[in-house]
């Protein structure tokens, strides 16, 4: 008995992304004709995704944890993962890229709203994930340093004005 080939669609399914999702579905079916199309979604996005031709939606939310989604995703063993981006720069989408990488799909496609659907290697995607994670960490460190400086300045201003109780009648 032949096994069904699976393509995994990863999108936030935001309003206005329907055309990009259609293009992603078409690209998935071009790479894997007759594939079973599965998406990861929420209770809000599930009707949109099913209306765009997906066979199944792995639900996240309403009691289903991300760990459960990972387990189901691994059981599917998708041959292809398609990430739908909301902008041409392929920024953000750390969760979706992480899901695509964790799925261990042989082929990973990136679908921006405009432009062609492009393939991404697993190592290139891992490098993207690492870069974005480091960038987020750096931003967190800079924010923490900014807060520390602000606290120090306010504390020194308080001491310069006569201490904590200064100005009270």
Q: Is 125's pLDDT higher than 90?
A: no
d(CA 110, CA 128): 12
pLDDT of 2 reads 47
* pLDDT for res 88: 62
Q: Where is 39: in which H helix or E strand?
A: strand 36-41
Which residues lie closer than 8 Å to 4 by C-beta, 6 or more apart? 35, 36
Q: What angle is formed at CA 38 by the lines to CA 25 and CA 89, rounded to 5 degrees?
A: 50
Residue with tokens 């800079």: 142
Cross-sheet strand order for the sheet of 80-84: 56-59, 36-41, 6-10, 80-84, 107-111, 118-120
- Please name each of the domains of the chain with its CATH number: 6-120 (3.40.50.10320)
Q: What is the pLDDT of residue 107?
A: 86
Interval 36-82: pLDDT, tens? 888 887 777 788 888 877 878 887 777 677 777 777 777 788 888 88
Tell me the pLDDT tens digit for each residue of 13-38.
777 777 888 888 888 888 888 888 88
83, β-bridge pairs: 10, 110
Tokens of 39: 């998406």
């Amino acid at each position: 008995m032949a096994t069904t080939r699976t393509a995994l669609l990863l999108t936030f399914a935001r309003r206005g992304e329907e055309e990009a999702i259609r293009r992603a579905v078409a690209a998935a079916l071009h790479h894997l004709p007759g594939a079973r199309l599965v998406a990861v979604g929420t209770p809000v996005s599930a009707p949109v995704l099913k209306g765009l031709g997906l066979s199944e939606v792995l639900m996240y939310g309403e009691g289903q944890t991300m760990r459960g989604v990972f387990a189901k995703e691994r059981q599917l063993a998708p041959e292809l993962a398609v990430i739908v981006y909301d902008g041409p720069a392929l920024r953000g989408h750390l969760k979706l890229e992480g899901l695509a990488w964790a799925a261990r799909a042989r082929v990973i496609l990136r679908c921006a709203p405009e432009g062609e659907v492009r393939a991404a290697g697993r190592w290139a995607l891992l490098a993207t994930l690492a870069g974005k994670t480091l960038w987020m960490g750096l931003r967190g460190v800079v924010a923490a340093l900014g807060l520390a400086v602000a606290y120090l300045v306010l504390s020194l201003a308080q001491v310069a004005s006569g201490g904590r109780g200064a100005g009270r009648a």
